[in-house]
Structures are given as structure tokens and as C-alpha cells.
């Protein structure tokens, strides 16, 4: 199967997305979930004309006169009297403005005279009233579906009476690492062995993306054993991620296993560096990625292909957030046959600096990177001062 461009690979992946469905949950448990239905308000906000400062509710036309204080209105109390000519009411922030008043004058602009009356000593006053329904009207849509719910969204839900909301179900992601050379992180590697870092990286990336991840262990370099784990994961998940076993070596038979498990392979090589030996296919009720075994490659392909798919499945209106910043120095690479994904940091002045990067096995380079930039196939250099798109990771 021929190598395809990255943009084509992303298009293929996104086109396979299916909905994970919805569920209703308490709004207090909805942080970082994807909202599935519009949230509407059952009240006007503010629900009444409300004082926005501590002071005195009065009539603007009377401010040059001495004013009789007719009552005190704390927050939570309904006014008992209206404000008539040359009258005012002491009022606290958040309290309902009484009938007749058209402004609230601030305490610091007033003096209570020995007679008990109020004198306004300011030159003018703002209205200082938050008017009924000026923020939200009863029935207004206050949150649109497709957004990832943030703490400030939860405040809006609470204020508008939405205590049970509809969210997208979290995609289930099954994660497998392939390779007899792997041992689990709690084991000391022997000669020719390495610790399995990919699975736990991919678990964390999946959960950060809003999915529910499950680890299925290490698949040894045995086709039947790998097939058994793959078929189990396919039956229980929406997406499976297998890292390793997708190159051209004698024991790299993951693509063969995927086909044997009933997966139709849509591509097996992508023109991206790192991440070329990436395989992707569809099953009757799930999709499968064969990711490179090198940890940086696996990390990058997840961010570039898997995360957008997870977001699409949940109906999230996903947009890549990029910063447009200048390069601090010239950058040159040796070959330009594939799109390059380059880890970078920022200088104190916000200029882009490629990090020291020894290749797709250089696992410690990524924790010290602010983001990545992409250099298209066919391009060898980026000039000093050239504006590049930085994607935070």
C-alpha cells in the first residue's frame, strides 16, 4: 500500500468517525465532558432590576435636593416602599431596586446630614443598576452543544437551573503494546529489553482527550497471541491503539493481525516524520490504529490523528489552537520527502526554538517541549524571523 500525505490520512480518519451516543448526568459531574444538547435558561438574569453597588436608590431628577431615606433594602429582601419625590432607599449590592428609583448613587458620593436626610455630593452618577434580563432572557440558549465543559460553564448551568444535562458518551479506547522486548514499568529491563512506556503515555493522552482508556497488556511477538488480544479489544472498544509491530521487520505483523481480525486497512504508511509506519483501518463497530513503536512517534501520531478522531466522535467542535510566532534562528533538516513534526520551545521573548531532538526514540525531548511546528514536505529550511504556527502540546 502506497504512502499517503498527512492531510489525506487525517481526512480518511475523520471520515470514519461515528457518534458515541449521549447520556444524562448531574451537572456537577460534567467537567471536561462534551455538551450534547443546548442548555437553556429557565429564568431572566438578572431576575429583577438589581443594584450593582452599595448606596442609595433614588430619582436622578432629585439629586440636587436633600433626600429622605425611607427604608433599607439588603440583598434578598423585597422592597416594601416605592421611592417618591425627594426620597431614597438605602440599598446593598444585589438587592432589588424599588419602584420609582432610576439610579443608585454610591455611598462615597453621599453624606447623611444631622437631620437624617441624605445629600448627594457627587457631580453626576452612573445608573448603577443591572436591569432585569439584560444578561439572559428566560428561554435563551446559554451554552451550545459541542463545547468541552469548563468550570465557568458549570456556573452558568447552576444559575439557569440545569442540574441534569446531556453529554456525549466517552469513547472507549483499548490500548495494546506489541513486542517481546517490552517489560512493564515496575520491572527492571534485562539485556535487550526496554520498559513499556507507550501504553501509559497513550492511556494518559486518551483520558486527556476525553476518552475512557483501558490497557490490555503487552502482545508478545506471536501472531496468535496478538490476534487474541486484538479481537478482545475490538469487541470492547470504539478505538484500539496498538503501538509497535507496524514496520517492515520479520516480527512486525500487526497489519496482518488486524486484517485477520476483520479490519479493513485504509492506509499503512503516512508521509510524516516521525510516524511514517502508521496503520489505520475500520472494523464493523470500531476503528484501529497501528502506531509506531518509538514513543515520540506514537505521541505525535496520537496528537495529530487520534485526538481529532476522539473529538469528532464526541461531537466536539474541535479546532487546533495555534500561535503565530517568529523563529529565533535558521532551521535546516537533511531530507524533505515527508512533512516534519518538530518539537519546539519558546524564548523569553516569545521566539521559537527547536529543542534538541535525537529522533523518534528520544522520549525525554517531549516533556521539555512547549509545542510542535510542522514543516511541509518539500521544504528543507525555516528562516530566522519567519512566522511559524506553533501548536501547544
**What is the DSSP annotation of 93-140?**
TTSBPPTT--EEEEGGGEEE-TTS-EEE-SS-----EE-TTSSB-TT-
DSSP string, 225-264: HHHHHHHHHHHH-SEEEEES--SSSTT--HHHHHHHTT-E
**Percent of the chain residues past pLDDT 90, beyond the cut:** 87
Q: How confident is the model at residue 250 (pLDDT cuts 50, 70, 90)?
A: very low
pLDDT, position 247: 62
Given a cut of 80, is residue 157 above it in pLDDT?
yes
Classify domain 22-44+137-168 by CATH number: 3.90.105.10
Average pLDDT over residues 111-123: 95
Whether the model clears a pTM of 0.85, i.e. scores above it, the answer is: yes
Domain with CATH 3.90.105.10 in the chain: 22-44+137-168
Sign of the C-alpha dihedral computed for residues 108, 109, 111 and 112 taken in this order: negative
Sign of the C-alpha dihedral computed for residues 102, 106, 112 and 116 taken in this order: positive
Q: Which of 53-62, 172-181, 236-245, 317-326 has the lowest mean pLDDT?
A: 317-326
Domain with CATH 3.40.980.10 in the chain: 6-20+170-313
pLDDT, position 357: 80
Given a cut of 60, is residue 320 above it in pLDDT?
yes
Measured in whole angstroms, the distance separating CA 99 from the mean position of its chain's CA atoms is 46
Average pLDDT over residues 37-49: 97
Given a cut of 70, is residue 248 above it in pLDDT?
no
Question: Across all residues in the chain, what is the average pLDDT?
Answer: 94
Rg of the chain, C-alpha, whole Å: 31
Q: How confident is the model at residue 363 (pLDDT cuts 50, 70, 90)?
A: confident
* Total number of residues shown for the chain: 393
Domain with CATH 2.170.190.11 in the chain: 50-130
| Helix, strand or coil, per DSSP, at residue 60 | helix
Burial 247-286 (b: 16+ CB within 10 A, else e): beeebbbbbebbeebebebbbbbbbbbbbbbbbbbbbeeb
As a whole number of angstroms, the distance between CA 82 and CA 135 comes to 25
Average pLDDT over residues 354-375: 86
pLDDT, position 37: 97
pLDDT, position 249: 52
Q: Which of 112-121, 195-204, 228-237, 244-253 has the lowest mean pLDDT?
A: 244-253
Q: How confident is the model at residue 246 (pLDDT cuts 50, 70, 90)?
A: low
Given a cut of 70, is residue 374 above it in pLDDT?
yes
Domain with CATH 2.40.340.10 in the chain: 323-392
Average pLDDT over residues 336-355: 94
Classify domain 50-130 by CATH number: 2.170.190.11
Choose which CATH entry (3.60.130.10, 3.40.980.10, 3.30.200.20, 2.170.190.11) describes domain 6-20+170-313.
3.40.980.10
Average pLDDT over residues 120-130: 94
pLDDT, position 253: 77
**Most confidently modeled range among 177-186, 234-243, 353-362:** 234-243
Classify domain 323-392 by CATH number: 2.40.340.10
pLDDT, position 206: 98
As a whole number of angstroms, the distance between CA 142 and CA 232 comes to 42
Amino acid at each position: 500500500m502506497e504512502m499517503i500525505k498527512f492531510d489525506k490520512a487525517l481526512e480518511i480518519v475523520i471520515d470514519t468517525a461515528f457518534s458515541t451516543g449521549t447520556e444524562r448526568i448531574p451537572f456537577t459531574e460534567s467537567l471536561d465532558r462534551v455538551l450534547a444538547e443546548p442548555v437553556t435558561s429557565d429564568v431572566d438574569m438578572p431576575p429583577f432590576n438589581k443594584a450593582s453597588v452599595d448606596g442609595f436608590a433614588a430619582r436622578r431628577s432629585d439629586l440636587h435636593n436633600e433626600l429622605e431615606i425611607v427604608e433599607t433594602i439588603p440583598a434578598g429582601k423585597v422592597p416594601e416602599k416605592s421611592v417618591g419625590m425627594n426620597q431614597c432607599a438605602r440599598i446593598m449590592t444585589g438587592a432589588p431596586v424599588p419602584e420609582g428609583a432610576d439610579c443608585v448613587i454610591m455611598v462615597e458620593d453621599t453624606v447623611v446630614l444631622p437631620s437624617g436626610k441624605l445629600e448627594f455630593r457627587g457631580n453626576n452618577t452612573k445608573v448603577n443598576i443591572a436591569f432585569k434580563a439584560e444578561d439572559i432572557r428566560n428561554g435563551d440558549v446559554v451554552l451550545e452543544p459541542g463545547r468541552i465543559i469548563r468550570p465557568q460553564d458549570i456556573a452558568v448551568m447552576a444559575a439557569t437551573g440545569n442540574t441534569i444535562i446531556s453529554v456525549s458518551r466517552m469513547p472507549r479506547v483499548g490500548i495494546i503494546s506489541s513486542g517481546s522486548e517490552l517489560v512493564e514499568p515496575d520491572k527492571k529491563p534485562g539485556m535487550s529489553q526496554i520498559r513499556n512506556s507507550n501504553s501509559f503515555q497513550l492511556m494518559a493522552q486518551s483520558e486527556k482527550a476525553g476518552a475512557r482508556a483501558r490497557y490490555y497488556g503487552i502482545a508478545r511477538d506471536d501472531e496468535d497471541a496478538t490476534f487474541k488480544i486484538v479481537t478482545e479489544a475490538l469487541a470492547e472498544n470504539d478505538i484500539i491503539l496498538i503501538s509497535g509491530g507496524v514496520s517492515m521487520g520479520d516480527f512486525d505483523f500487526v497489519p496482518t493481525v488486524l486484517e485477520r481480525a476483520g479490519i479493513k486497512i485504509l492506509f499503512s504508511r503516512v508521509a510524516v516524520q516521525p510516524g511514517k509506519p502508521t496503520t489505520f483501518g475500520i472494523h464493523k463497530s470500531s476503528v484501529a490504529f497501528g502506531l509506531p513503536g518509538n514513543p515520540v512517534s506514537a505521541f505525535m501520531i496520537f496528537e495529530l490523528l487520534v485526538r481529532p478522531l476522539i473529538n469528532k466522535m464526541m461531537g466536539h467542535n474541535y479546532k487546533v489552537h495555534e500561535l503565530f510566532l517568529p523563529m529565533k534562528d535558521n532551521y535546516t533538516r537533511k531530507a524533505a520527502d515527508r512533512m516534519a513534526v518538530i518539537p519546539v520551545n519558546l524564548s523569553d521573548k516569545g521566539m521559537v526554538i527547536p529543542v534538541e531532538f535525537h529522533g523518534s526514540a528520544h522520549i525525554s525531548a517531549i516533556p521539555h517541549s512547549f509545542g510542535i511546528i510542522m514543516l511541509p514536505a518539500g521544504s528543507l529550511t525555516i528562516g530566522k524571523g519567519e512566522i511559524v504556527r506553533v501548536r501547544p502540546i
